[in-house]
Structure 1
Amino acid sequence: MRRDLSKLRQRLAALRNMTTANGCTEAEALAAAEKAAELLASTGMTDIELDASLMEGLPVDIGARRRPIDSVWITVAVFAECHGYLERVGNRWRWVYFGDPANILVAEYVHEVVRRAARTAAREFRAGEVYRRRRTARTKAQVLKALEEGFALGIAPKIMAGLWRRKGVSGQPAAERQALVQSIRAPIKSELARRGMSFSPTRALAPAAGKFRDAAHWDGYAAGRSVDIEAPLAGPAVAGLLTSGERS
C-alpha cells in the first residue's frame, strides 16, 4: 500500500519558504534539508525493504542548456538515498530523481536549496571586481561558468558530509563510506534494471576558459564551502515542522 506522504509534502513545502526574502539564509535552508532527511530516517520512511514497485521518478527541469551546477545533482540524489539521471525532452534537459517516494521529495527540496544558493553566489559575484572588469558578453558568461564550477566543487562535499553524519560514518575510511553508498543504491539500480531502464554516459561540459578563470573558480569554491548545513534553524515554527510528531 502506498504510504500517505501528505504530511511530508506539507513540511517540505513550508521549508521551501525558508528563503532569503523571508529572512532565512541558504545555510539555514540546507540545515532544514538535513533535518528533513533525519525525519525520514527516524520515522522509518526510508526502509530499503519497501516494495520496489512503489519506487518512482521525479523530474526536475534544469533548462535548455546544461550547466556546471548540474554536476551536484548526483550528490543530492545520494544524500537523499535516491538514484539520479539526466533526461532530454524536446529542447530541454531535466534531472530525474528515482527511488522511494518520500526520498525523492527530499531530493527535490535539496535540489531547490542548492539552486538558490548558487543563484545567490552568482548575484553577489556580479557586484565584485572580477566580474565587473569583463567587457564582453562572452567573457562575462565564461567567468560566471567558472564561478559555478567552483561552487559545485565546494558545496558537494558539504552535502555528502550530511549523509555521513546521518549514517554515523563520519571519520570512517573512504572505503566504508563508499560501501554504504553502494548498499543504498544497489536495490534502486536493480529496480531500474528490472524496468528495462539503462543510461548512456553524457558528454562532459567543456570547462570555462580565460585568464580570469582561476579567480572566479576560487570565489565560487569559497561560496560553496561557506554554506553550513549544520547551521541552526531559526524560529520555533520551523523547528516544529521538522519533528516526527503531529505538529504542523
Structure 2
Amino acid sequence: MDDLKKIRKRIRDLTQMTIANGCTEAEALAAAEKAMELMQRYCLNSEDLDRESANLGAYGKRRSVVDGLWQEVAKICRCQTYAVSNNGLRIVYYGHPADVAIAEYIHDILRVAIHRASADFRETPEYQKRRKRATRNAAMKAFQSAMCGRLQARLNKLWWNRHRATPDYAESIADENKHRNLLFSELSAKMKFVTPKSLKLPDRRFDGARYDGFRAGDRVSIEPGMTGSEKKLALTFG
C-alpha cells in the first residue's frame, strides 16, 4: 500500500513538470513519457492518481460493535470504507488524499477515546457487579454499542450542519452522494464485498451499561472547523 502511494506521488510529481512550471520542452516530454510508463506498468489511470487509501487498525482484532462507527467517519470525510482481515481486522478508507488524511485522523482519535472510556467503565460499579466473564463482556458490549451510537449521531449532525450551511444544501448533498457512489463503483470494480452478519446486542439487563456508554459518547468533545473547502475536526476527551 505504501509503495503504491509512493508511485502515485511520483506520477503526480512528473505530471507537474511542464513548460508552464519552468521545465524545458525536453524535460517536460521526458517527464510525461515516464509518467505514462509508470501508469501503464501499474495499471493506473488519471482517476487513480486522485485517490488514496489508509489502512488502519480496527478497535480490536475481531469484529465488534465499534466497527459501525467507521462508516460515519467515512461519510463525514467524503470517503468510502471497508474492512479487511490482514493480521487482524483492518479498516480501509478510500478517497481523495486530503479526505483520507482527515478520516485517518478522526479514526485514530475516536479509537483512543473508546479505549480510554472502556478502561474507565471497567472500574465502575455497573461493570464490577458482574461476576462472570460472559456478563462482563456483555456489559462492555452494551457500553461500547451505546457510546458509538451516540458518536455516530453526533457526527451525522455535524455532516448535516455542514451541508445546511451551504446556499443549496440539497444540491450539496446530491453532489457528495454522487462522489461517494463513484468511489464505491471504483472499489466494486476491483474487489468483491461481503455483507457481514449483524452482531447480537445484549438484552435489557445491561441498560445501565448502555446509559454509561451514551454519556461517554457525549463526553467526547467534537469541535468542527469547516469553512469552504477546508475541513478540520478537533476531537478531545472530557
Q: Distance in 2 between matches of 1:231 and 1:89?
A: 33
Deviation at 1:124, TM superposition (A): 2.1
User: Which residue of 198, 205, 214 maps to 1:204?
Assistant: 198
Match of residue 146 from structure 2: 150
Structure 2 contact 163–172 (Cα < 8 Å) conserved: no
TM-score for both structures, normalised by structure 2:
0.67
Q: Distance in 1 between matches of 2:203 and 2:217?
A: 20
Match of residue 189 from structure 1: 184
Match of residue 40 from structure 1: none
Residue identity in the other structure for 1:188? L
Q: Distance in 2 between matches of 1:132 and 1:168?
A: 44
Is 1:224–2:217 an aligned residue pair?
yes
Is 1:57–2:56 an aligned residue pair?
no
**% identity of equivalent residues:** 30
Q: Distance in 2 between matches of 1:228 and 1:183?
A: 30
Structure 1 contact 130–215 (Cα < 8 Å) conserved: yes
Structure 1 contact 68–145 (Cα < 8 Å) conserved: yes
Deviation at 1:158, TM superposition (A): 1.3
User: Which residue of 59, 65, 86 maps to 1:89?
Assistant: 86
Q: Distance in 1 between matches of 2:149 and 2:85?
A: 24
Name the larger-Rg structure: 2
Gaps of 5+ in 2: 1-7, 14-45, 226-231, 233-238
Residue identity in the other structure for 1:146? A
Q: List per-residue Cα deviations over 1:132-182 (Å, max 9, x = no partner).
A: 111122211110111000001100121122233333459x99x87864542
Q: Distance in 2 between matches of 1:176 and 1:137?
A: 51
Which is bigger in relative contact order (C-alpha 8 A, separation at least 6)?
Answer: 1
Deviation at 1:123, TM superposition (A): 2.1
Structure 2 contact 145–213 (Cα < 8 Å) conserved: yes
Match of residue 18 from structure 2: none
Q: Distance in 1 between matches of 2:109 and 2:197?
A: 26
Name the CA shift for 1:134/1:106 in 2 (closer, same or farther; >3 Å): same
Deviation at 1:84, TM superposition (A): 0.3
Residue identity in the other structure for 1:106? I
Q: Distance in 2 between matches of 1:160 and 1:61?
A: 22
Name the CA shift for 1:169/1:157 in 2 (closer, same or farther; >3 Å): farther
Q: Considering fraction of residues, name the structure with more strand.
A: 2
Moved over 3 A (4+): 1-4, 165-170, 175-181
User: Which residue of 118, 127, 132 maps to 2:128?
Assistant: 132
Structure 2 contact 158–224 (Cα < 8 Å) conserved: no
Residue identity in the other structure for 2:66? I
What secondary structure sits across from 1:203 in the alignment? Answer: coil
What secondary structure sits across from 2:222 in the alignment? Answer: coil
